[in-house]
Structure 1
Amino acid sequence: MSHCATGPVEGTAAPATPGSPRRRPRRVAMLSLHTSPLHQPGTGDAGGMNVYIVELARRLAALGTEVEVFTRATAGDLPPVVELTPGVLVRHVAAGPYEGLAKEALPAQLCDFTHGVMQAWAAQRPGHYDLVHSHYWLSGQAGWPVAARWGVPFVHAMHTMAKVKNAALADGDTPEPADRVAGETGIVRAADRLIANTAEEARDLESHYGAEPGRISVVHPGVNLDVFRPGDGRAAARARLGLPADALVPLFAGRIQPLKGPDVLLRAVAVLLDQCPALRSRIVVPVVGGPSGSGLAKPEGMQKLAARLGLSDVVRFQPPVRQSDLADWFRAASVLVMPSYSESFGLVAVEAQATGTPVIAAAVGGLPVAVRDGVTGFLVDGHDPARYARVLRAFAEDAGLPARLGAAAARHARSFGWDAAAEATVGAYDSALARAAQAPSAAG
Structure 2
Amino acid sequence: MNGAPQVQRRRGFIMGFGAGAVAALGVAALIAAIAGDFSGSNLTSQASQVIRDEYFKPVKSSVLNDASVNGIIRELRKRYDDRFSHYLNPHQLRQFESLTSGRFSGVGLTVTGVKRGLRVASVLPRTPAQGAGIKEGDLITAVDGRSLAGVPTEVATARIKGPPWTPIELRLVSGSGGATRNIRLKRASVAVPVAVGEIKRAGTSKVAYVSYATFSQGAHGELSSTLERLDRHGAQGLVLDLRGNGGGLLNEAVLSASLFLAKGQLVVSTDSRTMGHRDYDAIGNPLSQHPTVVLINHDTASAAEILASALEDHHLATIVGTRSFGKGTFQEVIHLAAGGALDLTVGQYFTANGISLANKGIKPDVRAVDDPKTPQDEALRRALAVLAEKMAVENR
- TM-score, normalisation: structure 2: 0.33
Name the structure with the higher helix share: 1
By relative contact order (CA 8 Å, sep 6+), the higher-ranking structure is 1
> Which one has a bigger Cα radius of gyration?
2
Name the structure with the higher strand share: 2
